Amino acid sequence: MIKPRDIRFPLDTALSADWNGSDWFRTAFFNAMSILFPYGEKSFIDSVRANEGAVTSPALKAAVRGFMAQEYVHRREHQRFNEELCASRGYSLDWLEHTIRTDSEELETIDPLFWLATTVAYEHLTATIAGCLLGRANWLDRADPGISRMWRWHAIEEIEHKSVAFDVYLAAGGTRGMLRKAMILMSFEFLVRFQARSLWYMFRRDRPPLSRTMAQAVRFLFGKPRSGRPDKPG
């Protein structure tokens, strides 16, 4: 079963600092990813709802309800996270959200089945990242405990509902060819137009030392991962 968990996390005391082990890049990586979620989660819910009429299985209908409930809470908590982050660090939330907001509005005007294909692609990417977060101790091992709990909760629920959009897509007649196209497009959107854009903005705003930041990025992205639970605060 997909179980919604209506949880609120304490965020306000840590977001003004580099909350992830005093490491600017690791902190900014997660901060930048959070910017995507409020509009992204809304688009995911709406794309599944637009194709829900194709679902006949009672089990899948129940899974869709659980998926939507989980995504609603994710959207709410990341909106809180983003607003408090930008207020405490002097970021422009309107600027950071502009691209994802515009793209989400455009997706609502395209073929509903391809819109759902983009959601399937994003759900694959987020579930992959969630698996890394839960399986690699060094991703959050020295993070603020409250923020770490929020990210682990989100990761667990992403894995729980990772197949729902895909199952609805198949029920609606989606093809592998369309899905491959969506995966290519959304990988570029996620990594370049959204994540890299936000990271660059945060770097220009915070101005951390370049050499140290590059070393942090290389360690995080390409270093040998340490397995285990990332639940020990520094």
pLDDT of residue 70: 96
Indicate if the alpha-carbon torsion angle 201, 104, 115, 70 is positive or negative: positive
Nearest CA to 138 among 36, 20, 44? 20
Mean pLDDT of 167-175: 97
CA atoms within 13 A on the CB side of 40: 25
pLDDT of residue 234: 34
Residue 136: phi and psi, rounded to 5, are: -115, 110
Does the pTM exceed 0.85? yes
CA pair distance 13, 19, nearest whole angstrom: 10
pLDDT band at 11 (very low <50, low <70, confident <90, very high): confident
pLDDT of residue 63: 96
pLDDT in tens, 74-104: 999 999 999 999 999 999 999 999 999 999 9
CA pair distance 17, 28, nearest whole angstrom: 10
pLDDT of residue 17: 94
pLDDT band at 223 (very low <50, low <70, confident <90, very high): confident
Rounded to a whole number of angstroms, the distance between the first and last alpha carbons of the chain is: 34
pLDDT in tens, 173-221: 999 999 999 999 999 999 999 999 999 999 999 999 999 999 999 999 8
* β-bridge mates for residue 136, sequence order: 227
